[in-house]
Amino acid sequence: MNYSVIPNTWKLFLDEAGDISRFTGRFLREGFKPPYEFRELLKQCFYIGYKSLGLVGITAFIMGLVITIQSRPTLVEFGAEAWLPKMVSVSLVREIAPVITALICAGKIGSGIGAELGSMKVTEQIDAMEVSGTNPFKYLVVTRVMATILMVPVLAIFADAISLYGGFLGCNIKGVVSWDLYWSQVFQTLAYSDILPAVAKTFFFGFAIGIIGCYKGYYSKKGTEGVGQSANSAVVVSSLLVFILDLVAVQIIDVLNLT
């Protein structure tokens, strides 16, 4: 093992963390100062939110269906098949649907932002905007990060609904559960303490995805090769941050429930 590599690796990691922190601080400074790019923000919300509905919906439906089918045999062994709608609804709303939706967004939205801004960087379009007197950071970065913050929670709520419908169909593949009974059990089980924290953490998921995608693209280097590297690293880093933020959120929720 080459121990001489470890200090350089940690140095690169700390440099990257510091650059991302400064980039985040610049977003917080410029994101709330006029002028505001509302037209570009609405455009990015359309591309980030509406254009992702199909992929999120299909994934959520299959996810709810598969989890229900896989959970049935275990509950049948314990004679608790009637608890299937309650168990599936809590697991989907609390954890599975928000995290899977964030990972899909990290793959689709994060890579798209990284590749788009990276291509603009290597073709010197960002430099041209600065020369012309336009603030490229506010126009390109702030609008995209704000759009991800707003749209990822909407997509997560949409995924909750679609996955629960998939769970309903899964319950009826090898059994018979009426529409009214299924949704009655679901809403009797779910509480605001299940829904609100799950939705709240998706705002942070969206923030992480937007910041990392914009950072990787905004500082892309090495020509067209760097565009691919920016898109790839945006997906990897933002996906890792989603898991880290989810772990922190679970710990905070657990502490709040104990007090």
> Is there a domain that residue 205 lies in?
yes
Q: Find out whether 155 and 53 touch, Cβ atoms under 8 Å.
A: yes
> Is there a domain that residue 25 lies in?
no
| Rounded average pLDDT over 163-185 | 88
> Is there a domain that residue 207 lies in?
yes
Q: Give the pLDDT band of residue 131 (cuts 50, 70, 90).
A: confident
Per-residue confidence (pLDDT) for residue 258, from 0 to 100: 46
> Which carries the bigger pLDDT value, residue 126 or residue 147?
147
The number of domains in the chain is 1
Q: Give the pLDDT band of residue 1 (cuts 50, 70, 90).
A: very low
The Cα 122–Cα 218 span in angstroms is 9
Q: If you average pLDDT over every residue of the chain, what do you get? A: 88
Quick: pLDDT tens for 3-34. Answer: 455 567 788 888 888 889 999 999 998 888 88
Structural domain for 234, as ranges: 37-258
The Cα 63–Cα 156 span in angstroms is 13
| Rounded average pLDDT over 29-41 | 86
The Cα 231–Cα 149 span in angstroms is 19
The Cα 166–Cα 155 span in angstroms is 16
| Rounded average pLDDT over 197-226 | 89
Residue 226 has pLDDT above 50, yes or no: yes
Residue 210 has pLDDT above 90, yes or no: yes
> Is there a domain that residue 125 lies in?
yes
> Is there a domain that residue 8 lies in?
no
> Is there a domain that residue 1 lies in?
no
The Cα 89–Cα 142 span in angstroms is 35
Q: Find out whether 146 and 155 touch, Cβ atoms under 8 Å.
A: no
Quick: pLDDT tens for 49-58. Answer: 998 999 999 9
pTM of the model: 0.89
Residue 236 has pLDDT above 50, yes or no: yes
Instruction: Give one word for 79, left, alpha or beta, with left for phi > 0 and alpha for psi -120 to 50.
Output: left
Residue 154 has pLDDT above 90, yes or no: yes
